[in-house]
Chain A
Amino acid sequence: MEYWNNGMMESAYQSITPIFHYFKVRPLRSVKFFLLLILIAFSNAYAQFDNYHLDFKAVVKSGDGVQKLVLFNRGNIDDVIDGYVLISRGTHDMEGRIKKGGFNFLDPKIFEVGLPSLRRTWVKNNFPVKNIEVMTNGVDVEKVYSFEVTPEILNIKSDSISFYIKGVFYDLTKQTDKYSEYNLNYNINLTYKLFTVPYNKSVRLDFFCEQFNDYSFSVKFNKIDKDDEYLSIQNNRPLFEGIEQSASESSLPPNVRIEFGTEYIRADVNKPADLITLLHSDYLLTVQQHSLVPVNALDDRQFGDKTDLPVDIYYTDLSFPFKLYNKEKAELYKNYKTKSEIFKSNYNIVIVPISLNADTITADVLLNYTKINLNDNIPRWTPIRKRVKLIRGFPVAINLPKENWSASFTRDREKYSIYGYSDFEQYVNEYLVVSFDSIKQTDGE
């Protein structure tokens, strides 16, 4: 009673008296009014689904640490995501795409680099269909996982997402040296799984690892507010201005969406110096991503600049382990506990399309990288902008320059002294391969 007689509460009460007065004299109507408010709030919440995009990222790694494949898709909340991962016979090269319908044995584009003589053939398989047809060119498929992911989001405000993943495993069980159409035999398994995971947290799919020995498959979802879809550049004004300048030179028509692909390749310097004659088994490391993230705005945190761009640009971050190829230096740091955190490379790739002509795209490829993870804001590696001409089906490989960098520091009482050229650069050739798969007209979203 004393509380309600307090002067402050009295004045607050007086300020909303008209509403209270209405509710006092008409209590039943006040209940209806609030129920109506709640219903409006719920319908508004469901309408907010349109304000978000859903990012899907699948990462497949080989057990030997040489190959890494990133499959990325940005789409609407309720989009179904189809794709596939395959391992080729013999060289065990890894390929994959986010592609509607998943894997199609009759698609000749599956074998991008290979002999032009493709032919159809029948193979036996242990599935209800007696035979399946295959396009084969000698680089046959040893294992394929063709999958379909269906997200289920009931409440956009929730911190977790449920998703179904169903897929088909094709496993070449009968391998033979004789190249005969009746000697190929695929074992086929179906899987259905349901997961509920927090956003932005990787979940490893163990059933994949059971089918693909020595390979790991993990997926991650993230919801992105459409208002937050911009590229943030931190502490790198030259890169920010470089992207702005390239975008201003672009003459691309509006509402065009390009499926770019990138691959980072690290090869032994003693092997052939061009990728044409280099065999895939000679690679020290390969990290590939098809389908980069499209954005049309930049944000420079340092200067507080946010700018809209006249054209969509495409970006990704490729991250992978760094390795000291100087054996003596590697031996010195072998038992360091902070090694795994420090020896991480991050390559920021931005592709700005400049012009489009039939099946040819001229684009600026901007690359900014940190070969080791120090976060000390000391510039050690020079950002690059290279203009390339891309023809569909014919990738371009940028031979990255050898840099003369060094880093001497202590982390958790562990002392490091790394000389970039003598410990790493002189042992390897690095390439950034850029290609594009398709060009689409969008609805202006």
Chain B
Amino acid sequence: MKHYELEISQFVDNELPEHGRKELFVHLAECEECGRVLADYMEMKSGSRSFYENMEYEPEHPVNLPVLPQRTKERNIYQAMFYFAAAASVVLGLMFFMQQSSTNTITQKYKMLKTEYGKLDFNYNQAIKEVKTAEENYAPQNIPNDIKRGKEKSKKAQAAGRMAYKNTRQNTTDLTAENKDYMGNRPQLIRVVKVTQSDYLTPQIVGN
């Protein structure tokens, strides 16, 4: 006869499937030995439950768990201060970075201008050589046409210009009659006006 000890153990632990239970119950009805085994398993199970329920646990190595502080008003304030400080640090960092980049902007612009000036200076020196070459090749026929015509026509005008230029440097009492007429025909370039009694805002102050 086959004995169902394994199936009895599974049944006690509630692990026996449904179809196995029917076969076990049929066998228990015929086999007294398996019935005694079932009773033993049941008694052992109920005894172990009461054993664990009444057991007092004593660990071999005591563990010191951290005592979490209570969520107090002071802790909240410190937390808020931490976040404010973090925000302030970010802002200060941004400001410092912007300041640096602004200073760099001015310096970069200056360097750019200096480079531009360096190029102009180089071009200037190159052009000096061209001017000197042009001077060496100078000939009357190279003068622009309008200057050439002007030069031919303006001898009298140049003489008049030289006379007038000379007279502006001399004392006016030395003006010739011709120039006096010229000066007299010009509108007065600066008019001089005098202050009268009616122009004072207060009676004229005298003394200390």
Contact = CB atoms under 8 A, between A and B. Distances in A.
B80 A31 contact: no
A35 B89 CA distance: 11
Contacts of A55: none
A248 interface: no
B131 interface: yes
A276 interface: yes
Contacts of A444: none
Given A30-B80, A128-B127, A179-B161, A139 B168 contact: yes
B162 interface: yes
Interface string B89-101: 0110000000000
B188 A394 contact: yes
B190 interface: yes
Interface string B161-193: 110110011011000000000000011111111
A386 B199 contact: yes
Nearest to A389: B191
A151 to B, nearest CB: 11
A382 B201 CA distance: 7
Given A138-B168, A404-B206, A385 B106 contact: no
A119 to B, nearest CB: 8
A317 B176 CA distance: 42
A68 B168 CA distance: 23
A291 B102 CA distance: 33
Given A38-B91, A194-B106, A431 B192 contact: yes
Nearest to B131: A130
A276 B127 contact: no
Nearest to A396: B191
Given A1-B74, A138-B161, A405 B205 contact: yes
A164 B189 CA distance: 38
A401 B86 CA distance: 72
B121 to A, nearest CB: 7
Interface in B23-51: none
B191 to A, nearest CB: 5
Contact of A238 (B91, B106, B171, B202): B202
A306 interface: no
Contacts of A154: 102, 105-106
Contact of A394 (B114, B128, B189, B201): B189
A403 B204 CA distance: 8
A114 B161 CA distance: 12
A194 B107 CA distance: 9
A407 B208 CA distance: 6
A332 interface: no
Interface of A: 1, 4, 20, 23-24, 27-28, 30-31, 34-35, 38, 90-91, 113-117, 119, 122, 126-128, 130, 138-139, 152, 154-155, 162, 164, 166, 179-181, 190, 192, 194, 238-239, 242, 272, 274-277, 279, 366, 378-386, 388, 394-401, 403-408, 431, 433
The 3 closest A-B CB pairs, nearest first, are: A138-B165, A128-B127, A238-B201
30 contacts: A20-B76, A24-B80, A27-B83, A30-B87, A31-B83, A35-B90, A114-B168, A115-B165, A117-B164, A122-B144, A128-B124, A128-B126, A130-B131, A138-B164, A152-B106, A164-B110, A181-B147, A192-B110, A194-B110, A379-B202, A379-B205, A382-B201, A382-B203, A386-B193, A394-B187, A396-B190, A401-B194, A405-B205, A407-B208, A408-B208
